Amino acid sequence: MAEPDNSSDFEELLDLIKRSRGLDFKGYKRASLIRRVQRRMQIAGVDNYRDYMALLETDPSEFDHLFNTVLINVTSFFRDSIPWGFVSEEIIPRLLEEKSPEAPIRAWSAGCATGQEAFTLAMVLAEQLGIEEYLKRVKIYGTDLDDAALAYARAATYTEKEVEDVPAPLLEKYFEAKGGKYTFRKDMRRSVIFGRNDLVHHAPISRIDLLVCRNTLMYFDAATQTRIVNRFHFALNDGGYLLLGKAETLATHASRFEPVDIQKRVFRKVGRDPRKDPLLVTGRDGSEKNPGDAEPGALCDASFDRMSVASFVVNRKGYLVLANERARALFRLAPGDTGRLFHDLEVSYRPIELRSLIDQLFIDERPVKLLETPWAMGGEERWFDVQLTPLYDSKRSLIGVTVSFDDVTAFHRVKQELQQSHSDLQGAYEELQSTNEELETTNEELQSTVEELETTNEELQSTNEELETMNEELQAINEEHGIANTQLRERGNELRELNSYLEAIFASLGGGVAIIDLEMRVKIWNRRAEDMWGIRSDEAVNRHFMNLDIGLPVAKVKPIITATMSDGSEAKEMTIEAINRRGRKIQCKVTSTPLMTPDSGAPQGAIVMMEEVGVD
């Protein structure tokens, strides 16, 4: 088995997973991640990381087994009942008091696995609001990385064991029992939206009032936990609540979340008001000035204004302190916009959402670059490379960020023309775009489509039931046909027995026998005839007797055959010279007898007996 210290091979394995499936596990706690990967390798019978990478490339289904091992989906309804009681009795009433009666309520279950916590949220909110008010105001988003778990959650159907923690009154009120399974009620199911979301890399769902993420952060390292917590802070409304698992805490994030009940792991978002935390901008003379009054020369020199790339500067406090000539023209910034809060300006969210990127840069202190960002301007679409660069003073303290928009429209169009010659790559790009659109969990129109599909499924189910009824009727008809077929088989058996009997009779006759119909076509050609003339039964049957190429001169025997069939007189015979199949001359006695049936008065053909009576 591979050792944990084989770091280079393990990093290549993580890169392969990211390239192939878009999942980045590098933020997971390394020891725990290695342990789970090795557990899966042991089950797969692989001894080292390189062999396991080869297995993944030859057997794509192995990815699913690996993800099921790494992404542990442990969840249940009303998991750890004590915090849920606190949420129901304390948190939700506070939340409702702070919102107007008509305001929507948005909740997010991050790392929802198979959906039990999302539906627990739905029941807790419905109990406080009433079902009618719940249906008008509530939206719940359940997200996870595991597609199989999300598919299970969307079905909203659970086993008796899975719902055993749901109190009996709530189970009866919110679930429909059928066939040993329990399905969450459909009208409330429409308010719960499930989608795939990577907490580390995907954009968080915004404007959330209550966020539940239980025992998910514990699997990530400290740096990744900080990134996720920052995203949670961005996702929550001011004063929004965060519920973590009993093994998690936010002791190192006191500036962003304050504990409501540390024992129950309930926290509340701490808002960020720049007026309560003034950040001073250093001027040229070393003096400190308020952000709204900052001098542009304190952050850049005069050449900044003449740069060909549109650029502007936002200080550490969040104020726009400088914008060059190109930026003012591109973003229609007025002279009075300098000194305003950047979040209040249109450029902060159009053409792209810059607010969260700037907040993240102030946390990570790392440059951010977005390539070829599209922007529709006056009916023409243009593309920009967006660069966010941190600014430091002489003491290496972060004092602001420069945001640059480099117009790369010409480059983008040239690249598009080149891409036309790579249809396969274009197709892959379109598939990626389609996948990204499907991952938009905040798209309420998608939920509407899903509900329409559910209605269609119900109609199909009804149609299937009708088809099943028709199948039962067809089964009854088939049974009747089976009886008829049995009778036919019995008749067939009788005919085969009769044919065998006749064949035995024909075989016992000393000579060859040919039975001929009125058109002189052979109907029966026994084995003695085959032996005499060298023509098999399948070659003779249904052929004209006069056309048979045998050693018997059939033209000479034709008169006695036609005479027998015409008047039905007694048998006629004649002896003529013939040549048998061995090429020897023989004397052949030919006897023609009329073929009579019980219900006909006229011959139906003739029975021709051919016997060897002498050999030359």
Compute the radius of gyration of the chain from its Cα atoms: 45
**Can you read off the two tokens belonging to residue 425?**
């790559």
d(CA 403, CA 342): 12
Q: What pLDDT is recorded for position 288?
A: 39
Taking each helix axis from N to C end, the angle separating 355-364 and 222-235, rounded to the nearest 10 degrees, works out to: 150
Q: Which domains does the chain have, with CATH numbers?
A: 7-70 (1.10.155.10), 102-271 (3.40.50.150), 276-407 (3.30.450.20), 509-615 (3.30.450.20)
* E strand intervals along 446-555: 512-517, 522-525
- Chain-centroid distance of CA 134 in Å reads 31
d(CA 13, CA 2): 12
pLDDT digits (tens, 9 = 90+) for 69-108: 776 666 888 887 778 888 989 999 999 998 888 899 999 9
Q: What pLDDT is recorded for position 377?
A: 76
Higher pLDDT, 145 or 508: 145
Of 2-6, 277-281, 545-549, which range is least confident? 277-281
Q: Which amino acid is at 483?
A: I
- Mean pLDDT of the 334-338 span: 78
Average pLDDT over the chain, rounded to an integer: 82
d(CA 90, CA 97): 11
351: cis peptide before it, omega within 30°? yes
Residues 371-389 as b or e (16 or more Cβ within 10 Å = b): eeeebeeeeeebbbbbbbb
Is residue 606 a contact partner of residue 595, using CB atoms and an 8 Å limit? yes
Which residue is it, tokens 């009795």? Answer: 89
Is residue 383 a contact partner of residue 372, using CB atoms and an 8 Å limit? yes
- Mean pLDDT of the 336-361 span: 89
Q: What pLDDT is recorded for position 508?
A: 66
Residue 513 burial (C-beta neighbours within 10 Å; 0-12, 13-18, 19+) = buried
d(CA 300, CA 283): 10
pLDDT digits (tens, 9 = 90+) for 122-135: 999 999 999 999 99
pLDDT confidence bin for 167, thresholds 50/70/90: very high
d(CA 449, CA 452): 5
Q: What pLDDT is recorded for position 298?
A: 38
Which residue is it, tokens 């249906």? Answer: 135
pLDDT digits (tens, 9 = 90+) for 495-504: 777 777 777 7
Highest mean pLDDT among 36-50, 176-190, 555-569: 176-190
pLDDT digits (tens, 9 = 90+) for 392-428: 887 888 999 999 999 888 888 888 888 776 766 666 6
- Mean pLDDT of the 162-190 span: 92
Decide if pLDDT at 286 tops 50.
Answer: no
Which stretches of 302-422 are DSSP H helices? 325-331, 355-364, 409-419
Higher pLDDT, 454 or 116: 116
Decide if pLDDT at 281 tops 70.
Answer: no
pLDDT digits (tens, 9 = 90+) for 302-317: 567 777 889 999 998 8
The residues with which 18 forms a beta bridge, in sequence order, are none
**Can you read off the two tokens belonging to residue 106?**
């948005």
**Can you read off the two tokens belonging to residue 327?**
């930026």
- Mean pLDDT of the 578-606 span: 86
Residues 6+ apart with CB under 8 A from 545: 514, 516, 520, 521, 522, 554, 561, 608
- Residue 162: other Cβ atoms inside 10 A: 16
- Mean pLDDT of the 141-158 span: 90
**Whole-number percent of the chain with pLDDT over 70:** 85
In terms of DSSP bridges, do strands 585-595 and 572-579 run parallel, antiparallel, or are they unpaired?
antiparallel
d(CA 76, CA 131): 22
**Can you read off the two tokens belonging to residue 378?**
């006056």
C-alpha closest to that of 209 among 311, 94, 295: 94
C-alpha closest to that of 606 among 587, 616, 592: 592
C-alpha closest to that of 577 among 616, 534, 530, 532: 616
Q: What angle is formed at CA 346 by the lines to CA 106 and CA 100, rounded to 5 degrees?
A: 30
**Can you read off the two tokens belonging to residue 473?**
């009727």
Is residue 278 a contact partner of residue 284, using CB atoms and an 8 Å limit? no
Q: What pLDDT is recorded for position 425?
A: 65
Q: What pLDDT is recorded for position 58?
A: 86
Q: What pLDDT is recorded for position 175?
A: 94
Query: Between the CA of residue 599 and those of 79, 568, 602, what are the distances in Å?
Result: 90, 14, 9
Decide if pLDDT at 514 tops 70.
Answer: yes
pLDDT digits (tens, 9 = 90+) for 450-478: 777 887 888 888 888 889 888 888 888 88
Q: Which amino acid is at 216?
A: T
Report the predicted TM-score, pTM, of the whole model to 2 decimal places: 0.42
Higher pLDDT, 464 or 442: 464
Query: Between the CA of residue 39 and those of 3, 6, 13, 151, what are the distances in Å?
Result: 12, 16, 15, 25
d(CA 179, CA 592): 78
- Mean pLDDT of the 510-527 span: 89
d(CA 402, CA 299): 10
Q: What pLDDT is recorded for position 271?
A: 72
